[in-house]
Structure 1
Amino acid sequence: MTSGATIEWSEKYRPETLSAIVGNSKPVRELCAWASEWQHGIPDQRAAILYGKPGIGKTTAAHALAHDFGWEIIELNASDQRTAGVIQKVAGSASKTASISGGIRLIVLDEADNIHGTADRGGAQSLVKIIKNTSQPILLTANDLYGVSQSIKDLCVPIAFRSLQSRSIIHVLKDICHDEGIACEAEVLQRIAENAHGDIRSAINDLQAVAQGKSELHSEDVVISARDSRDTIFTALKKIFKGKDIKEALTATYSIDETPDNLIQWIDENLPNQYRGRDLTSAMLALSRADIFLGRVQRCQNYRMWRYAGAMMTSGVVVSKSHEYPGARFMPPSRWRRLGRTRTSRQIRDAISEKISTLCQVSQRYARLNFLPFIRMLFVDHDYAVHLAARMNLDISEIAYVTGSKKDTKKVKTIYQEAQALIEDKSSEGIEIFGGFGAREEKVRVEPEKPEKEPKKPEKKPQTSLFDF
């Protein structure tokens, strides 16, 4: 084997051109069509989103596109913090200017479905503004299209990448073995390809692991555990609503990355569109019993009851069906969409509660439920609002949340500016006290010391008697 074994083969043999990408010819054509529009000016849809399972070539396609079209590429990946400030600094500035050579610059944002949480607060809103105003192409990648904000999806061309078939993966593995000088049996490549479940990156990594230090590979050399093949939630829902086997429906839920609390919301959302009449009533009864068990799990922390909840919400729904219904397409829980729309507001609320809990030495939950409403009442008074904003060091978004106003209103801006000025005054005052800078010098009049007079010594009288001392 060559010295290239020290390099990860998934990087060493990463396709550099779109023509070298296997198994996804249709999405590659769609990607090229979108990119070609940029050669003739700014198109209507300035961004595209590549979505599909991990390891099937989405990021590789983005880099290959830049290579084929001669574009400069700027990438912001999932390991980077994607707050509004970072996205505006990196992607925002890049979206308004061309490359150094004057050509087109491709901006790639990896794993756009993971822009959430306190660390990425405001990132989605900032990205929407950048896409609307960009003069350069923007390419997003996502593992789960449903995890991407709807406002972002509305501005993008969706391009679906599919899992690779085993024969396509085998073809790639054969070429790698040939380049590395490894004699490999066909059965070995077949087992590795099937174990990857469409993930070509995992297949290449498995091949490198079993070929380490070998020039020949036989079937007995392949000792790799079966990779966990995860079904999607839609596969499980199909077996619940369209299937007839209660055991198959229950087993399908074991191979998805959803807790029973999430799964019951999926079933509850889609059940009215899949069943009718008495079947719907019976299925809802089974679902309500599953919810009772979930409540007991939460109260008692006895997670063994999950099995009963899972059986009721899957097998109970299956047996409730008396005949087939023409069902509609499956939809994600509407509650999640509502929470997604209020995500930023909840993050700001939690950030304020954390500051209150730190200052008042109480829990964050107690601060949110008891102190935050009281602080909102105090913010009605302007002077109180300024001093509290300075004391808690609130930013302009947090002030807008407490006052119930928008960030660009005069009231919010005035409170923020006066609070910042008060913070600066306190800081400068603290520096003067600590360092003694600017202290007023007091003139002390020094008078010359007067020589002290020696006390007069008493004159000694002659002793006249025995007791006269």
Structure 2
Amino acid sequence: MLIKKHVPKKLSEIIGQYKGIVKFSRFVKSQKKKAVIIYGEPGIGKTLAIRVFATEQGFELLEIPPSGTRDKKEIISKIGIASQQPSLFGGNKIIMIDELESFGAGNRGVIRALIDVIKKTNYPIVLTSNNPWNSKFKTLRKYCEMIEFDKVDWKDIEQYLAKICKSEKIDVEPVVLKKIAARSQGDVRSAVMDLDVLTTNKSEVKNTDFFDLFREREENIFYAVKMVLKSFDGNVAFEAFNNVKIDSSEFLMWLDQNMHYEYLDPISLKKGYENVALSDKFNNRVLKTQNWSLSYYPNFLVSVGVQQAKTRVTQNISRYMRPELLMKIFSLAAKRRKARGISQQISGKLHASGNALMRDFYPYFNFIIEKNPEMGKELTTYLESE
């Protein structure tokens, strides 16, 4: 796979994150605080930068993956001990905890245990996060430096993809690389994976290949929706859903958008939406407990459960719609969560409630950052100071 073959070996090879890497290097050297949260969108190089930095600078790296230590007792016994013991080779050490969001799910006191480890550690602790502004991390943020990794500019991604193609001796039309880069929305990993799919067993890729690939993916989604809403065979529906390679939380939005076109009987529609709601409920439980063995249930409910809710199949030739409105709502909700997190973070500094700041302060704060970055930087520095 290209993603493994062309993984950067040097910090200079990581694209679009020069500022973040410099800040991280300064953190390791100064260690004004004993921990740092590196945050940003998925696929932009947060974890990779830490690994490469450790290799280049001769640090031993103790990496705690998302599926690893997430229990209070294990944190104290495993991370706590590692933060005190010398490196195996007598050198420096970095402890990295990947995906902060999965911390503390279903375990009381786990964040407090992590803070206690940070207070006593002899080595820098690095936490990566897609969005660290959740209120449950409010106290933790006080003990950590915050370093943001930016979305990578699509032009940088385009050049990076061109470099890979040259190395692999694959002739790809420039417009294809431009479209892959733009479609990635700053996610380098996603762009390389798309390129890998397009170039598999090919020495030449044209613009038509790009359209064929992504039309096929969307056609598969429409086909899965059709099999759930039109067929009665549970095996067919479950197989169609599994072949799409999207999670149940995304698929249920497609069903929510289109079910009423097929389920004209009120009872069938009611049962169908009940299964969608149950699937969403199980998804939340999986995320909260991090018990991924439960994933079968939301997958089953959103496919076979919805399919078996109907009493008859309509003879309509339905034109299914993409859940664009729902995606906009989810995007708006994500922005509001970020605004709420920032407002709660600075509430102590401004002696006001998070809700009041979100209503009366955050819109102007956001406007200042957008229109006058220099003033926004000074204001941010003031608000982040102790």
- Residues of 2 paired with 1:110 and 1:221: CA distance? 36
- Residues of 2 paired with 1:75 and 1:49: CA distance? 14
Q: CA deviation at 1:329?
A: 4.9
Partner of residue 224, structure 1: 214
Partner of residue 116, structure 2: 129
| Amino-acid identity (%) | 30
- Residues of 2 paired with 1:67 and 1:139: CA distance? 15
Partner of residue 197, structure 2: 209
Asked whether the equivalents of residues 48 and 140 of structure 1 are also in contact (C-alpha less than 8 Å), the reply is yes
- 1:29 has 2:22 as partner: yes
TM-score by length of 1: 0.48
Equivalent positions of 1:366-385 (< 5 A) are none
Q: Which has the higher contact order (CA 8 A, sep 6+)?
A: 2
- 1:327 has 2:314 as partner: no
Asked whether the equivalents of residues 83 and 122 of structure 1 are also in contact (C-alpha less than 8 Å), the reply is no
Deviations 1:428-468 (A, max 9, x none): xxxxxxxxxxxxxxxxxxxxxxxxxxxxxxxxxxxxxxxxx
What amino acid sits opposite 2:329 in the alignment? Y
Asked whether the equivalents of residues 133 and 338 of structure 2 are also in contact (C-alpha less than 8 Å), the reply is no
Deviations 1:65-86 (A, max 9, x none): 1011101111112122401112
TM-score by length of 2: 0.58
3-state SS of 2:38 partner:
strand
Partner of residue 169, structure 1: 157
Q: Cα distance 1:252–1:63, how it changes in 2: closer, same or farther (>3 A)?
A: same
- Residues of 2 paired with 1:190 and 1:163: CA distance? 16
- Residues of 2 paired with 1:78 and 1:163: CA distance? 22
Q: Which of the numbers 36, 39, 46 marks the counterpart of 1:48?
A: 36
- Residues of 2 paired with 1:66 and 1:263: CA distance? 30
- Residues of 1 paired with 2:358 and 2:7: CA distance? 44
Asked whether the equivalents of residues 113 and 149 of structure 1 are also in contact (C-alpha less than 8 Å), the reply is no
- 1:105 has 2:105 as partner: no
Asked whether the equivalents of residues 97 and 136 of structure 1 are also in contact (C-alpha less than 8 Å), the reply is no
- Residues of 1 paired with 2:358 and 2:37: CA distance? 30
- Residues of 1 paired with 2:8 and 2:184: CA distance? 19
Asked whether the equivalents of residues 96 and 125 of structure 2 are also in contact (C-alpha less than 8 Å), the reply is yes
Larger Rg: 1
- Residues of 2 paired with 1:11 and 1:328: CA distance? 41
Equivalent positions of 1:333-372 (< 5 A) are none
- Gapped runs of 5+ residues in structure 2? 219-245, 247-324, 342-353, 368-386
Q: Cα distance 1:80–1:121, how it changes in 2: closer, same or farther (>3 A)?
A: farther
Q: CA deviation at 1:136?
A: 1.1
- Residues of 1 paired with 2:61 and 2:206: CA distance? 42
- Residues of 1 paired with 2:202 and 2:38: CA distance? 37
Deviations 1:279-333 (A, max 9, x none): xxxxxxxxxxxxxxxxxxxxxxxxxxxxxxxxxxxxxxxxxxxxxxx83459xxx
Aligned residues: 246
Q: Which of the numbers 243, 247, 256 marks the counterpart of 2:331?
A: 256
Deviations 1:201-247 (A, max 9, x none): 0000000011111011111111226999xxxxxxxxxxxxxxxxxxx
Q: Which of the numbers 173, 183, 187 marks the counterpart of 1:199?
A: 187
Partner of residue 72, structure 1: 60
- Residues of 1 paired with 2:38 and 2:68: CA distance? 19
Partner of residue 273, structure 1: 360
- Residues of 2 paired with 1:253 and 1:184: CA distance? 33
- Residues of 1 paired with 2:152 and 2:130: CA distance? 15
Partner of residue 16, structure 1: 9
Q: CA deviation at 1:87?
A: 1.5
- Gapped runs of 5+ residues in structure 1? 1-7, 38-42, 229-249, 276-325, 331-469
- Residues of 2 paired with 1:182 and 1:130: CA distance? 49
CA RMSD of aligned residues (A): 3.2
Asked whether the equivalents of residues 118 and 125 of structure 2 are also in contact (C-alpha less than 8 Å), the reply is yes
